[in-house]
Structure 1
């Protein structure tokens, strides 16, 4: 098991801290009963990312130096034991504040089609596009308990 992981009930985004730290046994029980739990990667106070694990869906929030969720991956279970990255969202912030000034979302389909949505908030603008990409790197195996390295790869190609 990776020594730099810890477990909690959830990551409180607004307060930038975990809620209710859990023992490995509590998290293992949640994992095997398909209940929701969160994995912190890195230190408890300054994790690199967090992984929200729920039945059928896994979210990975990558944190910047200010503990802001700058990149989010959403994986859906597409068949038993197999996940597919269905959405990636990048956020841009104003300086070192928590104010989101814009972002881009990529919604992937298994057939390779992707919808792109770029949004700016001041002044407001929205651009959308569609494309086709090789999505073979969007597949991951459903993680075994405490083995999450496959999910926290930022580069998916």
Structure 2
């Protein structure tokens, strides 16, 4: 996996803005300043995921992208004490659409909100119709992650969080 860095990600065009050299991104990481790490399979392939680090505001996000540069799965973490807690997981389905990047509208969104007390709220939205459910007593031990060192995102980018 090849990592590149930027200050911001443009969701509409599925491209990085304010490109950062690895040393600049590492310095931002050390200071707790925002940056985005973008992963590609190799130098010639499109981005497959991005890690948005915003530790100074208590936030980190991992966004997996599909072959059209659209967000397909988004994990949002909140900093609690000294660890990150997976607070929200949202998946997006685009049906047969081949629209690129942020120009595509999801036909289906499914999100899960987790609390440290073991409550989960599920929301499914399909073509503007929404359904919700909630459960208690869920084991959320796998929702916790250490704040990663710069470039060591393996724990954070685990797709299977069960």
Normalising to structure 2: TM-score of the pair?
0.89
2:153 equivalent among 145, 148, 154: 148
CA–CA distance in structure 1, aligned partners of residues 109 and 150 of structure 2: 32
TM alignment of 1:1-40, pairs within 5 A: 4-40=2-38
Q: Does 1:128 align with 2:132?
A: yes
CA–CA distance in structure 2, aligned partners of residues 64 and 151 of structure 1: 19
CA–CA distance in structure 1, aligned partners of residues 94 and 15 of structure 2: 19
CA–CA distance in structure 1, aligned partners of residues 34 and 154 of structure 2: 19
Query: Structure 2 regions of 5+ residues with no counterpart?
Result: none
CA–CA distance in structure 2, aligned partners of residues 101 and 5 of structure 1: 30
Alpha-carbon RMSD across the aligned residues, in angstroms, is: 1.3
**Equivalenced residues, count:** 152
Q: Does 1:72 align with 2:78?
A: no
Query: Structure 1 regions of 5+ residues with no counterpart?
Result: none
Displacement after TM superposition at 1:154 (Å): 0.6
Aligned match of 1:119: 125
Q: Does 1:57 align with 2:55?
A: no
Q: Does 1:103 align with 2:109?
A: yes
The answer to which structure has the higher strand fraction is: 1
CA–CA distance in structure 1, aligned partners of residues 15 and 22 of structure 2: 18
